[in-house]
Structures are given as structure tokens and as C-alpha cells.
Chains A and B, each alone.
Chain A
């Protein structure tokens, strides 16, 4: 059974872009990444899957149930972490967690306690006094405490410090091992790369690629920036080269050994090799196999 399945899902509304003809399949037990820059349609897709938005056309199924008027069977099986968690004013963290559990007609006291401890979240704090990161943690506990089959996470790590991010992904990996499906929406390529088995890339409302992480990463180049000079002429796989004030920057998708040899032959005072930002990867997908998805 597919945990998520959409067929030509389209949502157009107002001035926002929405999504066009999104077809996705996420199998049960997958750790699936959903990558795209802000405003690409990630949240719109998720909100449509959760029944907050009514699709303009197309169909969707979550946990085997059709997305439509009756959302309860889906929502009972899903844990959702919104990109920005907002809670009712005047409540304490513990009260929010109990409210969430109460709305699910479940008692999640033990699970909530364990999660709060691992995420170092004080249930006695008032929600309006919490920092963005701590509010996020409340959202995480709400999404996880009822032990859902499917976790839908929208930009889950924004606001979390690196240690917390590590702990959070450790929890996700545990859930994944015990059989939960995880749908992780993010604009941070590295966290998708580290955690997910497969991923889809969405841009301007359309899915432009959907493949295993290995396949997606293979095609992605590196952004190389160096201070000084090196004999780069004739090196295959250089694109988007910029030179200014003794700084050379380019996208490299050729053989690493040749690049290193060329750099060693030159006068390089400083060097950084980073993942290209998403925009560059999208460009790559647009120039190359633009309609893989």
C-alpha cells in the first residue's frame, strides 16, 4: 500500500502559486524527502493532503483513504508538524500537549513525557513565552506523541539548534525503523540527503524530479570557490564560472581527481567546496532532464 499517492493534484488559489499536476507515490515505510525552495508549493501540497485546502483538480490518497470531505481516518494516522507552529495563547506546553491528545481521544502522557525529556522541553512553560525553536519542539511532540503511521514534517528543523536537530533526526530514524513512513519537506538538501531514501524536487508548483537520493545526488554538481589562481582551462564539467577580485567560483560536475590536480598546479590560498544551492540544482534539472518527474 502507498502511504501517499497523488494523481495530477492541482491547487490554484488567489495570488499564491499553488501546485500543478503533482503526481507522487510514497510507499509505506519510506523516508521520503520533498525538496524545493520557499514558495515552490511544498506546504500547499501538504495542506492539500491534510484536507486544509480543497484541491482544484486531481486526486490524493493518504494511508489508503481518499483525501476529501471525510478526513478523520487519515488525520488519526498522521502526525503533522507545520513549518510554523502556532498555539492558543495563555496555555502551558503541557496543556497544549494534553489538548492535542484529547482531540485524538488518546492519552499520550508517557510518550509526551519521554519526548519532552529528549527534546529538553519544559511542559510548565507558557507557549507565548517560547522561542521559535521551542515552539517547534511543542509541534514535534504533538506530531509524534500519538505514534502515527505517517509523519508529515514541513521544514522541521528551522529554529532548532544543531544538537536538537541531531536528536530530532535520531528520533525520526527510530520511528522509521519501527515502521513509520516519513515525509520530510525541506529546502535543506543535506538533511534530505542524509536521511531520506527517495526524494522529489518541486519547483514553481511542479514536481520536476523524483528519484532515489543516490540518483539525485549523482547528478548534482559542487560549487567550488577558490582564492588565487589555478589552470582550469580545458577542464571538463565547469559551468557558471565567475571571477572577481582574485576569487574564482564555478560549478563543477566533472571528475574530482582532475580538479584536484589542476588546483594543486595552481596558486590557491583558500578553497571551499560546497553543495550547490538548490537553485543551481534546479537549473541543472532544467537544463538536463527537465521533465524527469
Chain B
């Protein structure tokens, strides 16, 4: 299968503090790919670099065939419509209702009629498991789990090929978290998405991920599927995965 994201020799630093020192990874089409590692290892930073919120110091990131370092304005704009991003806290626009949050990219980027947009919004709301009466609420009026679902619906608005999730289950109760995992799997199968996520939730990692990359000590210490993960000698991984498997 084709590589959708390729990261080569990535170096990132904040001032004197080096976060990534020569990262390499590749994400294949159709898989659910997890970025794992101890806190402060730069998982979220890597995710932010992939969605062009932050620049790396050197190295290259290729997303859907576009080299992010040399991307033109127009090209970047097109690329942004091909992916969806779910932020940790949802980041719904607080001045808009849920349905308007989801409709916003459709209104901006397409010339669909209002009736058509309403229908698409209804579909996205139901696919993520929200009730249609929730659509008229403002983000401040709904719970954390609903916010995540609404934000997921917004990131799916343009039918992206690629979805970035930053700690999708953090801050959710275990039941909602499992529901969310099931939802992600369902969406992958339904819509053929490629999903890149940062996660700390072990259950969610085992339930959803096809492959993982583990970042520790500024480098990738493991990349591949979860079956061989115990053979790797790394302090973080042994504490993280060790207990669970015994």
C-alpha cells in the first residue's frame, strides 16, 4: 500500500532543547497509526508539524504527496481540505452552534445549497452518535464527550481521506472512551480513512491501532505492529506495555 505520510530525518528544537533528532516514519493508506511515548517526547509537536501548525528545523515531511517545507499557498490550502484534525479539547468555535461549526467548512469551500448542507450536517451528526437536537446547542452547553464527537463531526465535514486525532479519548469516562474507539473503527471501515493519533489510553491503543511509532529519547525506538512490541528493549515501553500483557 502507498505511504500517505512520510517523515524523513526530522529535527525539531525549541531554543536549546532538542525534541526530535532525526525522526523517520511512514504511514500507509488505510491504517490507524498511533504516536506513543512518554510525556514531553514531542508527539503532539510531531502532529502539529504534520498539519502545518509548526515548522521543523530540518528534515522533510510529505503528506499526501506534498512536501510541506516547499508547499505553495494554494497547494497548502487544497491540502487542508483533504484532512481533518481533532484537537484535544475539541476546539469548537465557541461563537457558533454545533451545526454551524460543522457546516462552516462546507459553506466556505463549496457552493452547495443550504438545504444540501443541512442534510450533510445531519448525517455527520448522526454518524458520530450525537442527537439531532444537540445540533442547536453552543459548545459551552455540551459535555466533554459530546464536544469531542461534535469536533470529530466537524473534522469529517469535508469527507477527508486523512484524520489526525490528538488524544481522542483523554478526559472521557471509560465507557465514552470505548464508544469513541468503536466509533473510530467504524468510521475507518465505513469511510476508508487513514487515521493518525496520539494516545495514552492503553485500552484504546490495543483496540484501535494497526501500527505504532514509539518516540523516546528524541528518536523513533519502535515502528510497526503491536504484536512484536514486547520484544523491544526500552524502559518506557517495558513499563507501558509490560504489565498489561503479563
User: Is the pairing of A and B real?
Assistant: no
Using a CB–CB distance below 8 Å, which chain B residues touch chain A? none
A residues neighboring B (CB under 8 Å): none
